């Protein structure tokens, strides 16, 4: 089998393997040098998203795109003092583009021009000319995008771009993820034209994100956004980020009625929920709702699998309806009250305990370490992931509570995150009394022998722990690290953290 793969006789399998290296530039580049067969499979993947490569590298790859320029376009480059070599290439690299981020393109073009102009500052006209030139090359190369990120800037998209898009409908026809940055001061007439083209040609979106949404755009632009939503065959995820907490949405949210069968996830950020949002109760397959810094969330109605709320203050009375309606369907719950304790905490704990026994993922902050909280944990017999934040009212006299809590942890629990709470201080007591078969444990630091001893003893006793995440990774003592890594693998927390 290995010889067949090496000779390129199993292209489907090799393509799967290489696609798993999608974000590992050096590994993919090495694969391209192995053989002609591997090169043919690696190069298209390498060039799917070239503008995402590290910002400290010179974007010299841009020159490769210009091999297909006509004489007139090459002369214009010289007028901008750009004397670039036009290499004869083995591939039509522009055709491989799958991810197009306008902001990344602009940044890379500036870096490329600085190099071409011997580090002198390029003027805006040359930057925008190159951006439009590349945009046109990508469209006319036969490329078919999967992901498009348009953060509208001040520069003008040339009319010839729209002409090219009209002749090359395949450029947007397979688009799955669309992110639109809609800063009001940057919106110009041509942007509305581009949105109308997207509404016509990009009808297979899975994800749509509207960033910096402002309710008082020009009517034509709002109409184009509504058309994009309504033209979709099967939109699954919708994300709206408001600018200055909008209270009106001019039919944008109502347009989601057209996606009531397919819509599965809604993310709302920095906005005030209005009556428009009642349309979500008609979305039959809506499972996931994420709310970040929003107001009037009590107006929302849905039976959910996943609920995530992040706010400076969470008021239980505003979310009881969501919890009770979701009931036994709810499996993943994250409630982060960033600045204040959760209001009506007792009602919250009782509601979760009474209506939501099937939770497998729980992330709570600013909760009192109390008997009622223990009763909730004891009732969640399917709990697998537990994160506790901002629990700071544990003193030496309450060590018995830590012991009680440790013994209550269900035997289904695999993941425990204690980084941002006082429980991390009582790490040794907790582990010495814990019988849950933890596989992942996240802590703030591992800075003394007492913690290391408790961790080693837990590993030997339970034989389940695979990874320990350490928040203060750079402060980790080498001797302690060596001692602990005899029994468990240590990682920086961001490598193993599990989000809702």
Q: Tens digit of pLDDT for each residue in 39-96?
A: 888 888 889 999 988 766 778 889 889 887 888 888 888 888 888 777 778 889 999 9
**What pairs with residue 263 in β-bridges?**
none
Q: Tell me the whole-structure pTM to 2 decimals.
A: 0.89
pLDDT confidence band for 1 (50 / 70 / 90): very low
Assess contact for 299 and 278: CB atoms under 8 A.
yes
- What's phi and psi for 413, nearest 5 deg? -70, 125
- Residue 21's pLDDT is what? 67
State mean pLDDT over 447-453: 86
Please report which helix (H) or strand (E) contains residue 17, including its range.
Answer: helix 11-19
Residues 374, 140: Cα–Cα separation, whole Å: 62
280, pLDDT greater than 60: yes
What is the share, in percent, of the chain residues with pLDDT greater than 70?
A: 93
Residues 296, 232: Cα–Cα separation, whole Å: 28
The pair of structure tokens assigned to 371 is 């008997």
The pair of structure tokens assigned to 199 is 């509404």
pLDDT confidence band for 7 (50 / 70 / 90): very low
Residues 106, 108: Cα–Cα separation, whole Å: 6
The pair of structure tokens assigned to 402 is 């830590």
- Of 97-111, 116-130, 144-158, 384-398, the poorest mean pLDDT is in 384-398
> What is the torsional sign of CA 417, 423, 426, 430?
negative
Assess contact for 365 and 395: CB atoms under 8 A.
no
- Residue 186's pLDDT is what? 66
State mean pLDDT over 261-282: 95
Residues 20, 488: Cα–Cα separation, whole Å: 27
Residues 100, 13: Cα–Cα separation, whole Å: 27
* 3-state class (DSSP) for residue 116: helix
Residues 62, 306: Cα–Cα separation, whole Å: 43
Q: Would you tell me the crossing angle of helices 11-19 and 36-46 to the nearest 10 degrees?
A: 40
- What's phi and psi for 444, nearest 5 deg? -75, -50
pLDDT confidence band for 281 (50 / 70 / 90): very high
**What pairs with residue 389 in β-bridges?**
365
Assess contact for 340 and 366: CB atoms under 8 A.
yes
Q: Name the CA dihedral angle for 188, 190, 194, 195, rounded to a multiple of 10 degrees.
A: 40
- What's phi and psi for 258, nearest 5 deg? -70, -15
- Of 32-41, 276-285, 311-320, 366-375, the poorest mean pLDDT is in 32-41
Residues 357, 268: Cα–Cα separation, whole Å: 26
The pair of structure tokens assigned to 119 is 């580090």
Q: How would you class 223 by CB atoms within 10 Å of its CB: exposed for 0-12, middle for 13-18, buried for 19 or more?
A: middle
The pair of structure tokens assigned to 325 is 């309606």
pLDDT tens-place string over residues 391-408: 866 666 678 889 999 999
Number of C-beta neighbours around residue 75 at 10 A: 10
Residues 279, 284: Cα–Cα separation, whole Å: 11
Most confident of 141-155, 209-223, 272-286, 349-363: 349-363
Q: Helix H segments across 47-123? A: 62-65, 71-79, 102-116
Q: Are strands 265-269 and 288-292 parallel, antiparallel or unpaired?
A: parallel
Query: Domain residues of the chain, as ranges?
Result: 1-46, 309-383, 398-500
Length in residues, the chain: 500
DSSP state letters, 123-186: PHHHHHHHHHHHHHHHHHTT---SEEEEE--SSPPPHHHHHHHHH-THHHHT--EEEEE--GGG
Provide long-range contacts, Cβ within 8 A and 24+ apart, for 131-137. 131/102, 131/105, 131/106, 131/155, 132/157, 132/158, 132/160, 132/161, 133/69, 133/73, 134/62, 134/65, 134/105, 134/109, 135/105, 135/161, 136/160, 136/161, 136/164, 137/65, 137/66, 137/68, 137/69, 137/94
Assess contact for 86 and 77: CB atoms under 8 A.
no
The pair of structure tokens assigned to 399 is 């060590």
């Amino acid at each position: 089998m290995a010889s067949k793969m090496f000779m390129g006789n199993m292209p489907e399998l090799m393509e799967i393997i290489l696609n798993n290296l999608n974000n590992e530039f050096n590994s993919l580049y090495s694969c391209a040098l192995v053989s002609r067969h591997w090169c043919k499979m690696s190069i298209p993947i390498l060039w799917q998203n070239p503008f995402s490569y590290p910002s400290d590298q010179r974007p010299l790859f841009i020159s490769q795109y210009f091999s297909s320029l006509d004489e007139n376009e090459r002369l214009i480059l010289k007028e901008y003092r750009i004397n670039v070599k036009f290499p004869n290439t083995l591939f039509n690299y522009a055709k491989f583009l799958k991810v197009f981020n306008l902001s990344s393109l602009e940044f890379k073009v500036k870096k490329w021009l600085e190099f071409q102009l011997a580090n002198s500052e390029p003027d805006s006209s040359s930057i925008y000319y190159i951006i439009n030139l590349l945009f046109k090359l990508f469209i006319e190369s036969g490329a078919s995008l999967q992901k498009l990120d348009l953060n509208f800037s001040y520069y003008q998209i040339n009319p010839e771009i729209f002409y090219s898009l009209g002749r090359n409908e395949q450029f947007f026809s397979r688009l799955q993820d669309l992110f639109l940055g809609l800063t009001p001061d940057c919106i110009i007439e041509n942007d509305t034209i581009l949105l109308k083209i997207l509404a016509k040609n990009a009808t297979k979106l899975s994800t749509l994100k509207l960033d910096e949404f402002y309710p008082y755009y020009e009517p034509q632009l709002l109409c184009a956004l509504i058309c994009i939503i309504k033209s979709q065959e099967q939109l699954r995820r919708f994300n709206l980020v408001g600018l200055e907490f909008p209270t009106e949405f001019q039919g944008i949210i109502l347009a989601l009625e057209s996606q009531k069968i397919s819509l599965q996830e809604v993310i709302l950020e920095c906005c005030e929920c209005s009556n428009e949002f009642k349309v979500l109760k008609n979305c039959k397959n809506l499972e996931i709702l994420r709310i970040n810094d929003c107001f009037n969330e009590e107006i929302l109605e849905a039976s959910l699998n996943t609920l995530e709320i992040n706010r400076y203050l969470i008021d239980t009375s505003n979310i009881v309806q969501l919890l009770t309606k979701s009931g036994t369907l709810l499996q993943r719950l994250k409630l982060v009250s960033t600045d204040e304790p959760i209001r009506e905490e007792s009602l919250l704990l009782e509601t979760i305990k009474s209506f939501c026994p099937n939770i497998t993922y729980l992330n709570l902050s600013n909760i009192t370490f109390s008997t009622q909280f223990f009763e909730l944990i004891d009732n969640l017999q399917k709990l697998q992931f537990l994160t506790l934040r901002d629990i700071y009212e544990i003193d030496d006299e309450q060590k018995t509570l830590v012991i009680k809590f440790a013994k209550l942890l269900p035997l289904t629990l695999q993941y425990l995150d204690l980084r941002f709470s006082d429980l991390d201080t009582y790490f040794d007591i907790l582990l010495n009394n814990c019988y849950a078969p933890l596989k992942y444990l996240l802590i703030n630091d591992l800075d003394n022998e007492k913690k290391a001893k408790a961790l080693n003893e837990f590993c030997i006793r339970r034989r389940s722990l695979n990874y320990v995440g350490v928040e203060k990774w750079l402060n980790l003592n080498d001797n302690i690290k060596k001692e602990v890594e005899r029994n468990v693998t240590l990682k920086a927390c961001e490598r193993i953290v599990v989000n809702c």
